[in-house]
Structure 1
Amino acid sequence: MSVELPALPYLPGSLLPHLSATTVELHHGRHHRAYVDAVNAAIAGTEWEEATLDDIVRQTQGALFDAAAQAWNHGFYWQCLRPRGGGEPQGRLGELVKRQFGDAQRLREEFNRAALGLFGSGWAWLVQHPGGQLGIQVTRNGGTPLTGDSTPLLCCDLWEHAYYTDYQNERARYLDGFWQLANWEFAESQLR
């Protein structure tokens, strides 16, 4: 069994004006595909050949982990975006956000502060800790909460290729666009 490149859950141009079709196509078709291909090349003929991507991420190290974690992170990221997304989290997630942060604006501020504080490449995550409370994590390179105790709910790709074409070096403007695309329904579906 090989790892598959998941199809995008929307057309590449449907995230305009916040992410261009060019950015989405290059990011998905080149970068995400490259990680999937690297995983498949590394697991061919090994004990990992029949493993799920989740298991490979949780149980490996080194180059295989890096490629698998990047493939998993990218697949998760695409689900965290949606055309006509944004707004405020509702339902149970909305209640947890109010309890943990006071309101969604405060969550966005804290998330952005953490994301802007990352020097270099990585990911910013909204997670649910084992006790049920929400938190914000930043991981470097291919790091992922999947290897820890917290459940990822929402993530933002902070690798330059995720935003350079549309925003150049302006990560703060990219984050503003990210919040206009945030898929709160998907995030809520990930709650424990």
Structure 2
Amino acid sequence: MSDVRQYAKEVSDWIDEIMAYLERIDITDSTVLANIERLSQWTNDLVAEEIDYENMVLIEEEMARVYEEIEEIARDLSTQQRQTQSVPIGKHTLPPLPYAYNALEPTISEEIMYLHHDKHHQTYVDGLNKAELMMKNARETKDYSLLKHWEKEAAFHGSGHYLHTIFWEGMIPRGGGQPKGDLLKQIEKDFGSFAAFKNHFSEAAKQVEGVGWAILVWVPRARKLEILQSELHMILTQWDTIPVLVLDVWEHAYYLQYKNNRASYVDKWWDVVNWPQTALRFTEAKKLTWKQQ
């Protein structure tokens, strides 16, 4: 297969992933769909090898524009949902992946993504729902004899559910590189440079004792970014901080592919980081203002 045809296939696969995502979130915006259709036609021309390198650059720019349009639509939809909906007790649901199971290959395999999302994350959703319902029952019956157990279950499974949701959103096919704008400026201010931040975050992930997470958080009271570790889903974290970027280093996140080489998994994970989504979380987190301590 020629380089042009291989590139065309990658673009076509990306278009299929985007269309599947739009269908999942029920978006039919005519402008976005028209731009995707134009991009698809350019890809067909690529297959016929009728486009030169300069046109391939134009395709990359169009892909970036389409992605930005979809990000804006998703942000608006998310804001509307937050403003109008709350989750009833015991009714949490598994959020769909914003991409196909194989979309993050070769960094993360399709098999891992399926098991991690559909099996492991679902377990945390189920555990949180059960804990909430049991605590509701305790309030209604005034029988608090097992409350300590169910509070622990809610902390463990709830943290697992919420961190995994951030984890999926924090990755994207053809991601990586480094952030731009305000997020990059804040990283440089708080860590000295992006390279220093990346090294610090990677080492935090590699050195989590047992299983857990590396977490970049915004600290509203200090007005700065910090890097934390969490054992399990909820131990060693700080209160009153907002997760901005998270990396799962439980063995189920990488073992089938990387065996016991967590370091290799961490190093390659940077290739799929979704910096636009991370920047959005950072922007929203900064809106929370407390008195500095």
Name the TM tier (shorter chain).
0.7 to 0.9
Shift of 1:36: 0.6
Distance change (3 Å), C-alpha of 1:139 and 1:79: same
Contact 1:69–1:144 under 8 Å retained in 2: no
TM-score, normalized by length of structure 1?
0.88
Asked if 1:100 corresponds to 2:173, the answer is no
Which position in structure 2 is the counterpart of 1:136?
Answer: 227
Which is further off, 155-164 or 68-77?
68-77
Residue in structure 2 matching 1:124, options 214, 218, 222: 214
Q: Of residues 95, 120, 124 in structure 2, which corresponds to 1:6?
A: 95
Q: Assess if the C-alpha contact under 8 Å between 2:131 and 2:151 holds in 1.
A: no
Please state how far the C-alpha of 1:135 moved relative to its aligned partner. Answer: 0.9
Task: Tell me which residue corresponds to 1:57.
Answer: none
User: Are 2:120 and 1:31 aligned?
Assistant: yes
SS at match of 1:61: helix
Whole-angstrom CA distance in 2 between matches of 1:9 and 1:146: 27
> Does the 8 Å contact 1:121/1:159 carry over to 2?
yes
RMSD of aligned Cα (Å): 1.9
Amino acid of the structure 1 residue aligned with 2:182: R
Aligned mates of 2:117, 2:238 — CA distance in 1: 23
Task: Choose between structure 1 and 2: higher helix proportion.
Answer: 2
For residue 129 of structure 1, what is the amino acid of its counterpart? V
Query: What is the alpha-carbon distance in structure 2 between the residues aligned to residue 105 and residue 140 of structure 1?
Result: 25
Q: Cα offset for 1:101?
A: 1.8
Structure 1 residue 134 displacement after superposition: 1.1
| Letter aligned with residue 177 of structure 1 | K
Name 1:179's counterpart in structure 2.
270
Q: Which amino acid aligns with 1:109?
A: N
**Aligned partners of 1:14, 1:92: CA distance in 2, in Å?**
28
* CA 145–75 in structure 1, closer or farther in 2 if over 3 Å, else same: farther
User: Which residue does 1:53 correspond to in 2?
Assistant: none
For the residue of structure 1 that corresponds to 2:103, the secondary structure is helix
Structure 2 stretches lacking a partner, 5+ long: 1-87, 138-149, 287-293
Could you tell me the percent identity over the aligned residues? 34
**C-alpha deviations, 1:80-130, integer Å up to 9, x for none?**
111111101101001111112222221111111111221200010111112
Counterpart position of 1:52: none
Aligned residues: 181
Give the structure 1 partner of residue 204 of structure 2: 114
Task: Give yes or no for contact 1:115–1:138 (8 Å, CA) kept in 2.
Answer: yes
Note the 1:158-173 alignment, pairs <5 A: 158-173=249-264
Q: Is the 8 A contact 1:146 1:152 kept in 2?
A: no
Give the letter for the 2:260 counterpart.
Answer: N
- Alpha carbons 1:122, 1:157 under 8 Å: kept: yes
Q: Which has the larger radius of gyration?
A: 2
Please say if residues 38 and 67 of structure 1, whose CA atoms lie closer than 8 Å, have aligned partners that are also in contact. yes
Give the number of the structure with larger relative contact order, counting CA–CA contacts within 8 Å between residues 6 or more apart: 1
Structure 1 residue runs without a partner (length 5+): 49-59
Query: Partner letter of residue 207 of structure 2?
Result: G
SS at the partner of 2:176?
A: coil
Q: Could you list the runs of 4 or more consecutive aligned residues of structure 1 that deviate by over 4 angstroms after TM superposition?
A: 144-147
